[in-house]
Each structure stands twice: as C-alpha cells, then as structure tokens.
Amino acid sequence: MSKGTLFLIPVPLADEAGLKSFTPFLKEKINHINEYIVENEKTARKFLKEAGLRTPQGDLTLHDYGKHQRGGNLSYFFGGLEAGKDVGLMSEAGCPGVADPGADLVAEAHRRGIKVVPLVGPSSILLALMASGFDGQRFTFHGYLPIDKVERTRKIKELEGLSERYQQTQIFMETPFRNNSLLEELLKSAHLKTMICIACNLTMPDEMIATKSITDWKKQIPDLHKKPTIFLLHRF
C-alpha cells in the first residue's frame, strides 16, 4: 500500500485576512483531506470553515500537537499517513515549521519516506523582509533575542556587526507583550545610523510597516504592546 502525503498548510496571520491567504489549490486540498495535525484545534476549525470547507466538521479527525503534546513518540501522528491517507499539518498562524512548530513532524515524515508538500501561504518573516527595503538575498532569522538585558544588548551589537560585515539583513522577533521592551533596548543600544524595519500586525487592517534609522525612530516611538511584530536590522 502506498503512503499518504503530508500537506503543510499555512494559516492566515490575522482574523479576516483569509482572502489574502487562500488559494484555489488550498481550498481543493482541504476538501480532500479529513485528517489534520494541528497546534490549536479551535483555530484550525475556524480556519477550515473560513477557507471553504464543505466536509462536516464532525467528520474530521484532528490530532492535537499543542505544546503539551510535543517531545514524545511521533508514531501516533503517522497512522493515517502510513495507511495511505493524506494529512494536513497546521500551526496556529503562518507556515508550519517556520518560527512555528512542525519541523520535527516533517523530519519524521522524511525518515518514513512520506511525501511532504508545502502549500503557498503567508509567512510573517518573508512578508516583512519583502517590505523592508533591506537585502533579500542575504538574511538570517534569529527567532527570539535573549530576555536578559545584558545578553540582549550584547546580541544586538552582534547583529549589527554581522550586518555590517556581510551586508546581511538580520531578522528577529519577540513575544508581543515584550515588544516595547525590545524596541526600547534597540533604541538605547544600536548605532544611531543603524536601520530598523518594524513590521507590525501584518495582513491586519491596521498593518504598520516602516523602515527608519535609530535616530528617526527615537523621534516617534510606536506602541507595539501585544501586537505581533517582526523586527529587521541592517547596518549599511
């Protein structure tokens, strides 16, 4: 018996952003698949409904891959795939496996000889990079910077050095309720001529993307509290 295919399904980054994210192929696939591995069942069911799911929700099988379910034996998630069923993998928002859970499941699929197919959809990291005006051929995503202030300051200086040395865009993020603290540290520690792009609430009606020097950001500091934000740094 041939094995199924693991489809990696991006989820919109914000409420009411579905029309910016859904493709005809995605709609076709979600109406073909009835088994999913999801980070958040409530979010997943809402997404599927908005994306045009025609299958009754009661006929779906959703496997919880939330934070309390990770780190154990992955065999549980592969029963359907091994039996020839196609399965969808979804994180809570954005692309599974990219600054979101799922990479270990994808790696396990490859080990088992299961075909992996990524679908087109929104990635906050790439959307921010596209809109920043920074180098899109040489860039690095660092995830979260250290919480400790001394370590975070040291990391910011390190990123400036990497950017200047390699002319490389440095991309990072923070937990939304600590955004303002990170921005405060950037304004205090980074060189006045260092360029920072702030990409906030991407795909939302109040989306804000702006690229300015540290000097100019100090003139008007945005409130980023509890707003999903990607930070990009470039030292020319």
Could you state, in order of their start, the residue ranges of all structural domains in the chain? 5-118, 124-234
To the nearest 10°, the Cα dihedral for 222, 227, 229, 235? 20
pLDDT over threshold 70, residue 6: yes
CB 36, CB 88: distance < 8 Å? yes
The dotted CATH code for 124-234 is 3.30.950.10
pLDDT over threshold 70, residue 138: yes
pLDDT at 15: 83
Average pLDDT value over all residues in the chain: 94
3-state secondary structure of 4: coil
pLDDT band at 218 (very low <50, low <70, confident <90, very high): very high
Measured in whole angstroms, the distance separating CA 190 from the mean position of its chain's CA atoms is 25
pLDDT at 34: 96
- Please check whether the two domains, 5-118 and 124-234, share a CATH topology: no
For 5-118, which CATH class? Answer: alpha beta
CB 169, CB 235: distance < 8 Å? no
pLDDT band at 79 (very low <50, low <70, confident <90, very high): very high
